Amino acid sequence: MELSSSTPTGRIKRIILSPSFWLVAAMLVSGVLLHYTAQLRAIPIPIHGEVQLTRHSTDRVLLILPVGYAAFALGPTAGLAALAFAFLIMLPRVFLLSPQPADALIETTAVTLVGGLTIWLAWIKQNQEELRQKATARLQAINAVSRVLTGSLETRRMLTEALDTVLEVTGLEAGMVFVLDEKGENLIVAAHRGLPPGLVTTDRGLSLARMLVSDQALSSQVALPLKSKDKPQGALVVGKRGTQHFLPEELSLLAAIATQIGVATENARLHQDVARQLEREKRLGEVALGITSELELDKVLSKVVLIAEGLISADAGLIALLDEQRGTLTYPYLHNLPAELSQVTVSTTEGLAGRVTTTGLPVVMEDYQGYPASLKPYCKGGLKSALGVPIISGEKVFGALNLFTLEEKRTFSDRDVAVVSSVARQAAIAIENARLYESMRSYARHIITAQEEERKRMARELHDDTAQALVALSRQLDALLSSDDQVPERARQQLEKARQLTADISQTARRFSQNLRPSTLDDLGLLPTLEGLIARLSEEERIEADLEVIGEQRRLSPEAELVLFRIAQEALTNVRKHSQATRVVTKVEFGDGRVKITVSDNGRGFKVPDRPSDLVETGKLGLTGMLERAHLAGGTLTAHSNPGEGTTVVAEIPVQ
């Protein structure tokens, strides 16, 4: 719509078309008539054979002024009223008073015609003004809606505010905005205003949309599709409870607004898609970190189910593990499903997981209950829709990751499948890692067990054979030295040295045997063995060494006692060899299901590496061994130390 013209021709045209111009012209003509009355009398205009304008002629001409003023200032209707009034004023003189009634009639008619022309011009001006105002109002309406649409990218909020604005600028009472859901499988009432309370519910989907527009909630309504690039996005329905005839301009305005809303809806959707994609990528990064930071299978797989559920907003989930040899599936990891389902074992020919592991492909089931091979216990668990993806690495299938809805049916999207598949791939890697780790731990456990057995055997041999033989040798030397037979003095001295040496070797052998595997550990338990170890340290190294026991003392399993003893033994060996400590305290705390042993010294301390893997590189093999033993026993080991501040080693393991 052309609102202004800047060319000279256009300006002149506009001025000429302006009613004010003609009003001014009329007034000027009146002025001329008044000003040149005498001269005009001389003009030979034949009016019944005479040429004259009387004083009354001037009056009549002047009557145009109020008519014109009324028409422009008060509107054409007022102008018409003024003209009628002026006509009534002039009429009596024409028929009753004027000495020249014919002339008076002609003048009156002329004045009436000029007045009518003025009113017509006023009417044209008013129409132009109305059109301009309507155009401005339309632009303002579109601008207002644009402002609202660009103010937010949150679809519901944006559409509610847009609907409010549409109703405000159009003066309509009620309306609703439907939008297609992400998959184009439903129409959702995204915003509504002025509808009867309780009419809009959220659980009736498409039939609700049909009902809302056809149940005459609004007597007069306009429904417009929301489109963007010819792709439907939804619909805008606005109207009134009373009767209203919509003008073409109103429909055109609403169509323009609907197009704006359609484009804005798609923009908001695209923005949300991007935001969701970024969020998912971030979450997947966290998944990778979360999953790969765990090496224990139970923790890994429990975490996988929770993460996958969260990523696609599922209600429940499980991991089925495949036993290839038996061709069966078990469900050890469940979330939001009855615990007894974890006891179910089925053939790979059954259930969703069976299909997924057999085909190696994702499966989406909108209606799990309707699946012929669905598992009865799971149907009873109230599962509605399901998504299953294989947990697969290379060609190795470990099982399936299945996710479910419990409240209502849902069609999982391709994006959902892609996201869960990604998690499942991470899970497969984590399972492989965890199994390798478990295999390594098993291997380490076997090595340590074999090492302990060998130590035990060597300790027994040292104690039973070597030490006994040395005792026998020592006794024979004693017998020789104390015999009555004359032994030369030189030989006696040699024998005495041999006896002393034999005693030293015997003591070393016994100590070595004790260090290898103290027999008291098996016979008397952890605490007496530690007492012996600490007493020897105190006696041999002149270090003030104490043992503190907290909690109810009791015998532990041989494995637990051995682990705790070896850790304490290694810690005390470090104290003896490296700490330069003058005091060491060993504390054993018996708790419920756990035993903690703490070895603290006041020695020179050292800088503890930041990561356990750095222990080997920095030559802290003793700490590495302690850490490994604690982990193999399912426990923890921490070392606290700083140069000049002593060292504290704390080991805690679970016990029965």
Partner 1 sequence: MDLETAIETKIEPKLLDTFGPSMSRCLLTMATLSYVTTVGGKTQRYRAFVDSICADERVVDKWGEAAVAERATEWKDLVPLKPQTVVVLTPPGAG
Structure token pair of residue 363: 């499966």
Closer CB to partner 1, residue 89 or residue 251?
Answer: 251
Helix (H, G, I), strand (E, B) or coil at 387: strand
Helix (H, G, I), strand (E, B) or coil at 293: coil
Using the rule CB under 8 A, give the single segment among 36-44, 245-253, 283-291, 542-550 that binds partner 1: 245-253
Closer CB to partner 1, residue 360 or residue 370?
Answer: 370
How far is Cα 119 from Cα 143, in angstroms, rounded to an integer?
35
- C-alpha pair distances (Å), 363 with each of 71, 360, 390: 78, 9, 9
Q: What angle do CA 209, 211, 214 make, to 5 degrees?
A: 110
Residue 367 in the binding site for partner 1 (CB under 8 A): yes
Among 234, 290, 399, 518, binds partner 1 (CB under 8 A): 234
Q: Which residues contact 414 (CB under 8 A, 6 or more apart)?
A: none
Query: Residue 180 Cβ, how far from partner 1 at the closest point, in Å?
Result: 6
Query: Residue 234 Cβ, how far from partner 1 at the closest point, in Å?
Result: 7
Query: Residue 283 Cβ, how far from partner 1 at the closest point, in Å?
Result: 26
How far is Cα 642 from Cα 640, in angstroms, rounded to an integer?
7
Q: Which residues contact 483 (CB under 8 A, 6 or more apart)?
A: none
Rule CB under 8 A: which of 62-101 touch partner 1?
none
Closer CB to partner 1, residue 63 or residue 258?
Answer: 258
Beta-bridge partner residues of 599: 586, 649
Rule CB under 8 A: which of 249-278 touch partner 1?
251-252, 254-255, 258-259
Residue 180 in the binding site for partner 1 (CB under 8 A): yes
Q: Which residue has the tokens 């509107």?
A: 75
Beta-bridge partner residues of 389: 401
Contact in structure between 599 and 571 (CB atoms under 8 Å): yes
The site string for partner 1 over 375-414 (x = CB under 8 A, - otherwise) reads: ------------------------------------x---
How far is Cα 624 from Cα 208, in angstroms, rounded to an integer?
68
Q: Binders of partner 1: how many residues, by CB under 8 A?
A: 36
The site string for partner 1 over 527-546 (x = CB under 8 A, - otherwise) reads: --------------------
Among 227, 335, 517, 620, binds partner 1 (CB under 8 A): 227
Closer CB to partner 1, residue 257 or residue 401?
Answer: 257
- C-alpha pair distances (Å), 521 with each of 409, 448, 595: 63, 17, 16
Structure token pair of residue 579: 């700490």
What are the backbone angles phi and psi of residue 59, rounded to the nearest 5°?
Answer: -60, -45
Residue 162 in the binding site for partner 1 (CB under 8 A): no
Residue 248 in the binding site for partner 1 (CB under 8 A): yes
Strands 594-601 and 636-641: unpaired
Closer CB to partner 1, residue 186 or residue 272?
Answer: 186
Closer CB to partner 1, residue 102 or residue 206?
Answer: 206
Contact in structure between 442 and 303 (CB atoms under 8 Å): no
Query: Residue 144 Cβ, how far from partner 1 at the closest point, in Å?
Result: 20
Residue 182 in the binding site for partner 1 (CB under 8 A): no
Residue 369 in the binding site for partner 1 (CB under 8 A): no
Helix (H) or strand (E) holding 596, with range, is strand 594-601
Closer CB to partner 1, residue 187 or residue 356?
Answer: 187
Residue 418 in the binding site for partner 1 (CB under 8 A): no
- C-alpha pair distances (Å), 566 with each of 58, 558, 630: 132, 12, 10
Query: Residue 251 Cβ, how far from partner 1 at the closest point, in Å?
Result: 5
Q: How many helices (H) and strands (E) does the chain have?
A: 21, 15
Among 111, 162, 163, 237, binds partner 1 (CB under 8 A): 237
Rule CB under 8 A: which of 187-226 touch partner 1?
187, 206-207, 209-211, 213-214, 221-225
How far is Cα 321 from Cα 291, in angstroms, rounded to an integer?
17
Beta strands in 218-270 (DSSP E): 220-228, 231-240
Contact in structure between 283 and 311 (CB atoms under 8 Å): yes
Rule CB under 8 A: which of 337-366 touch partner 1?
366
Closer CB to partner 1, residue 235 or residue 527?
Answer: 235
Closer CB to partner 1, residue 192 or residue 303?
Answer: 192
Residues that bind partner 1 (CB under 8 A): 178, 180-181, 183-187, 206-207, 209-211, 213-214, 221-225, 227, 232, 234-235, 237, 246, 248, 251-252, 254-255, 258-259, 366-367, 411
